[in-house]
């Protein structure tokens, strides 16, 4: 099976890129499942039921998130009612929503007749990030629970420090199908398969306007650095790309055999 993970979706341009490009990518690569990090999909910060529904309608199966989870108050509706929306697992007990889920892969072209399931887990790093519970301690027991249901496990690790991402993924090598990083909005060139069969990429990049500073208009960001004064960072508009990674996974073992970066231009 082939899975597409879409890096951080930024604002309306990012949603438009998914709506326009995802059907073509599905057909070209014979994709079985699509995951997108949607934490910046609403005006460039946060997510709402409306933007989530737009992303789902475009063909995304599961939406993950990160440190901008709470930027839109409407997110509570998603956390309480939408099982296909995940927040980082390492929030304290009692936090609304779920950090992982198991989903059926609906792939009529698969040679395997029995239902195929994939587990998706969302976790957040702690280095240079808002303090949450330690993912290095919380994720392994959750993986044991998930692997009782399926050998195919995908992890979105939303973190700042590359060292933390690599260490986390190395710890999970052989226990998950893939670990792909999000948050920095800069696609890295270290896509690889670890010895235990886990696909890895430090950062998937972002889906949105790249004539920008991480998706925002350039000049206000420069003014902020020059003056140290508050600025309004509007979402940029031009050179829109859909970025992420395609992972090829053996359905029986859950081991990844290939990972390929994606950077597809919109029009």
DSSP 46-68: S--HHHHHHHHHTT-SEEE--TT
Write out the two tokens for 237: 């508009």
Catalytic hit among 29, 68, 158, 210: 68
262, 21 Cβ separation under 8 angstroms: no
Sign of CA dihedral 49, 54, 60, 65: negative
Write out the two tokens for 188: 């890295």
Task: Tell me, yes or no, if 68 is annotated catalytic.
Answer: yes
Distance CA 235, CA 260 (A): 28
Among 201, 196, 202, 197, which residue's Cα sits nearest to residue 250? 197
Distance CA 261, CA 195 (A): 19
Distance CA 173, CA 192 (A): 12
Distance CA 235, CA 11 (A): 7
Q: Supply the residues annotated as catalytic.
A: 68
């Amino acid at each position: 099976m082939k899975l597409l993970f879409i890096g951080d979706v930024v604002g309306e341009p990012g949603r438009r890129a998914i709506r326009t490009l995802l059907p073509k990518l599905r057909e070209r690569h014979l994709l079985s499942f699509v995951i997108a990090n949607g934490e910046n999909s609403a005006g460039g910060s946060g997510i709402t039921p409306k933007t989530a529904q737009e992303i789902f309608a475009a063909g995304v199966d599961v939406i993950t998130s990160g440190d901008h989870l709470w930027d839109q108050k409407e997110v509570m509706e998603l956390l309480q009612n939408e099982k296909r929306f995940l927040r980082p697992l390492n929030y304290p007990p009692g936090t609304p929503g779920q950090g992982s889920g198991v989903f059926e892969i609906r792939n009529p072209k698969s040679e395997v007749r029995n239902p195929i399931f994939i587990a998706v887990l969302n976790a957040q790093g702690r280095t240079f990030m808002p303090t949450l519970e330690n993912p290095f301690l919380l994720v392994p027991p959750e993986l044991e629970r998930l692997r009782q249901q399926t050998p195919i496990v995908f992890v979105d690790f939303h973190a700042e420090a590359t060292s933390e991402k690599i260490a986390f993924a190395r710890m999970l090598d052989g226990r998950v199908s893939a670990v792909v990083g999000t948050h920095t909005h800069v696609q890295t060139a270290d896509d690889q398969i670890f010895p235990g069969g886990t696909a890895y990429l430090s950062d998937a990049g972002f889906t949105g306007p790249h004539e920008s500073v991480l998706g925002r208009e350039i000049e206000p960001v420069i003014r902020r650095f020059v003056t140290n004064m508050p600025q309004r960072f509007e979402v940029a508009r031009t050179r829109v790309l859909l970025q992420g990674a395609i992972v090829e996974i053996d359905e029986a073992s859950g081991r990844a055999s290939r990972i390929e970066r994606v950077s597809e231009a919109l029009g």
